[in-house]
Every structure is written in structure tokens, then in C-alpha cells.
Amino acid sequence: MNNPKISIVVAVGENREIGKENDLIWDIPEDRKRFRDITRGHVVIWGRKTFESVLGYIGKAPPGRTNIIVTRDKNYKYEECIVAHSLEEALRVAREKESEEIFIGGGGQIYKTVIPQVDRLYLTIVHGKFDSDTFFPDYLGFKNVIEPEEEHESNGYKYTWVTLEK
């Protein structure tokens, strides 16, 4: 079995906000492109609700990667995707398919459960405070900056890209 890094690519507000009512809080096309570019060719593990919100944006499973959907629904299926019934099962399957880096696509509950196992965070820190009902877990243990911070602005949002490891 492979031993790839486990990574998260996520946009968070300054108070770790990530979503509201199962949707993103902001619209930053460059950040979506960054997610696509980083995860392309790799395995991405999604919680079912997050996966279905992505379907609402692009109308299909994200192409160019192996998508694993975590759900307790034993009858759930989605064409060209792998369905797992626990995060542990999803990680086991991902390790069989991926040798470099497994990505966690969300959502909040998946992040909270997997964060102790995560090696790397590709963060987009959106400057400001936002109305949210879903938050990213504390990531104070990620202290090593492996890519310098990059400041950006798009659609009225100022944000910083930074990549961290434990």
C-alpha cells in the first residue's frame, strides 16, 4: 500500500469560516482554478453534501481526478465516482490508487475528522469576517510555510495563498 501525503485545499475566512447552508461564502474564480490545478491527476475525497454542491457549480463530477464520495447512504452511487461509507474506507481506497498526495475536498465534518492525519494545507485566507455556519478546524499545528504567501484580489475579495505543513 502507498503512503501518500494527505492534504487539504481550502478557502477560509479570518475566523476559519468555510461555508453557509452547504454553499461557499465567496466567489473567487482564481481560487477554484487553484483547486483544480493542485488536485488534477490525484484522488479527492469529498463528503456527499460537498460533492453535491460542487455538482451544482459544474454539473458533473470534477474531471481529471479520482473522486471518492463519503456517505452513510448504502444505496448512493454517482457515475465515474467511487463511493465509500466511512472516511477510513475512503482513505484506504485512496491509498491503493494514489502514491503522491491525497486531497480532502470537504466539508466541515470531514475536515474535522481528518485534520489529525493531514500533512499539508493549501490555504486561501479570505480577508474579512463572514456569516457562516461551517468552520474549518484549528490548524495551529501547521507551522512550516513551504510556499511563500501570495496576496491577491478578485471579485472584491482580498485573499492570501499560503501552503503549510506540520
pLDDT in tens, 1-34: 689 999 999 999 999 999 999 888 999 999 999 9
Answering whether pTM is above 0.85, one says yes
In this predicted structure, the answer to whether residue 104 has a pLDDT above a threshold of 90 is: yes
Domain count, the chain: 1
| Domain annotation covers residue 2 | no
- pLDDT bin (cut points 50, 70, 90) of residue 81 is very high
Tell me what the mean pLDDT of segment 149-162 comes to: 95
DSSP letters, the chain, are ----EEEEEEEEETT-EEEBTTB-S---HHHHHHHHHHHTTSEEEEEHHHHHHHHHHHSSPPTTSEEEEE-S-TT---TT-EEESSHHHHHHHHHHH-SSEEEEEE-HHHHHHHGGG--EEEEEEESS----SEEPPP-TT--EEEEEEEEEEETTEEEEEEEEE-
| Domain annotation covers residue 1 | no
| Domain annotation covers residue 71 | yes
| Domain annotation covers residue 74 | yes
Tell me what the mean pLDDT of segment 29-43 comes to: 96
pLDDT in tens, 110-151: 999 999 999 999 999 999 999 999 999 999 999 999 988 999
Say what the pLDDT of residue 1 is: 67
| Domain annotation covers residue 147 | yes
Query: What rounded mean pLDDT belongs to the chain?
Result: 95
Q: For the domain that residue 49 is a member of, what is the CATH number? A: 3.40.430.10
Say what the pLDDT of residue 26 is: 92
